[in-house]
Amino acid sequence: MTWPFDVAPPVALPPGRPVVGEEGEGERPLLWISDGPAPAGLWEQLHRAHPQSGLWPLLLSPLHDGDDFRPWLSGELYPDDASDPADHDPAALLRAWWEPEGPEDEDESAKTLAPYGAAWPGLAPAAAVPEGAADAQARELAGAVQSFLNVRLGLVPAAGGAQALVACGWSGPLNHESDTAKIAAVLTSWERRFGAQVVEVGFATLQLSVPTPPATLAEALPLAAEHVAFCPDQVYQGAGTLTAYAERLVGSHHWYFWWD
């Protein structure tokens, strides 16, 4: 196994390979990926070791089952296309994404996005996250994902899951937002306010764990508005209305996003 990073892996890894991206006339490693399915329990070990190793583990899934394992092994990673997440205000991003996304017809917009309509409601209040709950929930989701998805293990030198998406050049939300750093800025805000963590990443999908979900529809509605601004397909090609989507968030420790 060729190990691409300066820091040694904190635990023994299965066979794998580095994925590199072009940088001028040279190449730099973007991530390490296992050659086969992620071994049970290994994501959890690497997640526990992240504060010391600086390597964020991701469960990686392909667009379709096959040898190319898109986008991770097909050259469809674009780290140089992203800006710096720190340059973006999550609240301003969500407002900008929300305002143009409603249907042109005002009556239809009011129905789809009720109780807010075209008016951006602002950020949802932060949740109280007990110490250790965010990490525990992330590890629980990782185990569940490995039981039903074809996933490989990825490792990225990054401060967290949001930063890992930028560092490895993921561009899953391209049809909604071409700068992954803006996506990462919102994810970082969710990590701070709700304890959400990036666990699994696909070609244009994302799965997050959340330790303290909303307990009522009233609590879920402003959070649902953030989700719809972040990923409009949640409503416009999914639940149909903001309220219907918000109902799915009540009590759910799992946030799933997909971009068409």
pLDDT tens digits for range 60-78: 999 987 778 999 999 899 9
* Residue partners of 35: CB distance under 8 A and separation at least 6: 14, 15, 16, 17, 152
Does residue 55 contact residue 7 with C-beta atoms inside 8 Å?
yes
Does the structure show a pLDDT above 70 at 24?
no
Domain positions in the chain: 51-95+110-258
Does residue 208 contact residue 229 with C-beta atoms inside 8 Å?
no
Q: How many residues does the chain have?
A: 260
Nearest to residue 142, comparing CAs of 193, 54, 188, 209? 209
Percentage of residues of the chain with pLDDT beyond 70: 94
Instruction: Find where tokens 């710096």 sit.
Output: 84
Give the model's pLDDT for residue 250: 98
Give the model's pLDDT for residue 106: 60
Rounded CA-CA distance 151/31 in Å is: 15
pLDDT tens digits for range 193-202: 999 999 999 9
Rounded CA-CA distance 150/146 in Å is: 7
56-70, 106-120, 150-164: which is most confident: 150-164
Nearest to residue 168, comparing CAs of 10, 19, 2? 19
Give the model's pLDDT for residue 182: 98
Which amino acid would we find at residue 162?
A
Q: Of residues 67 and 89, which shows the higher confidence score?
A: 89
User: Alpha helices, DSSP H only, in the chain?
Assistant: 42-53, 90-98, 106-112, 133-148, 161-168, 180-194, 217-230, 233-234, 242-249
Does residue 9 contact residue 53 with C-beta atoms inside 8 Å?
yes
Average pLDDT estimate for 209-232: 97
Question: Could you tell me the two tokens for 59?
Answer: 């469960």
Q: Which residues pair with 153 in a beta bridge?
A: 59
Which amino acid would we find at residue 105?
D
